[in-house]
Chains A and B, each alone.
Chain A
Amino acid sequence: MLTDRKELDARLSDTAGTWLDDALAEAAHAAAHPGADSGPLPWELRFAAAGRHCGRDHADSVRALLLVEARAAPSTVTRLYRQGTAAERRAVLLALHRLDLGPAAVPLVEDALRTNDPRLVAAAVGPYGAAHLDAHGWRHAVLKCLFIEVPVETVDRLGERARGDAELARMLRDFAAERTAAGRPVPDGLRTVLALTAPAPAPTEES
């Protein structure tokens, strides 16, 4: 979960708070002067170092704030993801829905869903993935969560997207059958999602 600026300020030490102020000022400067870069921008170096200065627990939130403040364009977001550590990639994924990217960052979400790292997969099924993944990609994302034990509650708008999805229901049942045939347990989350795939009740006419 991302923490907002106000709450962060309350939690960060004075030194870390000052560091964050400076970092956000550099990000704002970059937003106001697009294209003036040669080499890594100062705020992008801060993006990498955020965990060391503000604490690992706050790194996702600090990095998300920097991306928003810098009004990071698709090219910047893509570069930071591709050149990032697993922690930096996770922060990019968590911040995508707060940026004005349209569908341009879908390849990053797809990349994260190809990994077997639950931290990245969990971040990929957030609000941006819910808004932009097509039906096929989204169903596989849900199944991937079940495979690598990312809690299905992590999937944003799960109930809304699953409702009435007969193809997802079929995939879930096939997966359950495969597990049962192998004598392996069916993940608890599978039944949760399967229940959500039931079609919405037909509207009843009010008399």
Chain B
Amino acid sequence: MRIFDPHIHMTSRTTDDYQAMYDAGVRALVEPSFWLGQPRTSPASFFDYFDALLGWEPFRASQYGIAHHCTLALNPKEANDPRCTPVLDALPRYLVKDSVVAVGEIGYDSMTPAEDTALATQLQLAADHGLPALVHTPHRDKLAGLRRTIDVVRESALAPEAVLLDHLNETTVRDALDSGCWAGFSIYPDTKMDEDRMVSVLRAHGTDRILVNSAADWGRSDPLKTRKVADTMLKAGFDEDDVDKVLWRNPVAFYGQSGRLQLDITTPDALHEGNSILRGGE
């Protein structure tokens, strides 16, 4: 089984996670830039973070046989802090980088005017750079937030098929799919969605334009949720081709719109002694 996790924050995960993900079948992932839990106070800390998503993190992933790509953006939460908004001006020099496969995560958190500006600006940046966009939908007031997001997408230069609306659930999936956008589901231990509910959504809405991710980060989350959804799908009567479509071909088709996916990572021979992220002093 081959798995592509289209949304996972590996910066917050350990090498044990990389190993477990590889063992579970994960061969590719996309790491969206997002909030780090601790708010940042200057653009410079964003740039160091972006550089890590373009340098160190792909290197770590490659040590475990996993292709790493990223999406870069000013996230909606920090778009509200005027100390951080200059990030928008610097994004063009980052969006030309090889492993950037979308602009994201963008979208709404509290649906403020500052978030309106950041969302519209970054949808335009995506269009300008020939990139799709990964759009986070808000945790609070989700359905209203989703509808407002779809309105902004319609007014943008970006086609709906170049937009992935993420963190959907039973109440938002219909509107998302009807908009022509791709539909992303984050499977969490407690919140968002779980494996059984995900399978029900797939039964009700089919497998077209649907992506499943773990969104694992620094909070309570599980980087193997993609595999658990695959196993639950098989138990529920979906066949291996359905699983491959949802967990590999759909993310490849969506992010492939960037023309920048490189999925030919070979299994590294450096995986000896269980840990090949060598430290300078060991």
Contact = CB atoms under 8 A, between A and B. Distances in A.
Given A40-B93, A49-B96, A52-B260, A89 B278 contact: no
B99 interface: yes
A18 to B, nearest CB: 18
A86 B56 CA distance: 8
Contacts of A147: 278, 280-282
B54 A148 contact: no
Contact of A85 (B54, B92, B279, B281): B54
Contacts of B259: 52
Which of A56, A86, A115, A117 has most chain B Cβ within 10 Å? A86
A117 B97 CA distance: 19
A48 B278 contact: no
A116 B280 contact: yes
Interface string A79-91: 0000101111100
Interface residues of B, number: 21
A191 to B, nearest CB: 20
- Where chain A touches its partner, the secondary structure class is helix
A35 to B, nearest CB: 19
A86 B50 CA distance: 12
B97 A48 contact: yes
A149 interface: yes
B107 interface: no
Given A52-B259, A56-B262, A86-B58, A116 B96 contact: no
Interface in B77-106: 92-93, 96-99
**Residue among B55, B58, B259 with max Cβ neighbours from chain A (10 Å):** B55
B130 to A, nearest CB: 11
A85 B280 contact: no
Interface in A103-138: 115-117, 119
Contact of A116 (B58, B99, B270, B278): B278
A1 interface: no
Interface of B: 54-56, 58-59, 92-93, 96-99, 259-260, 262, 270, 277-282
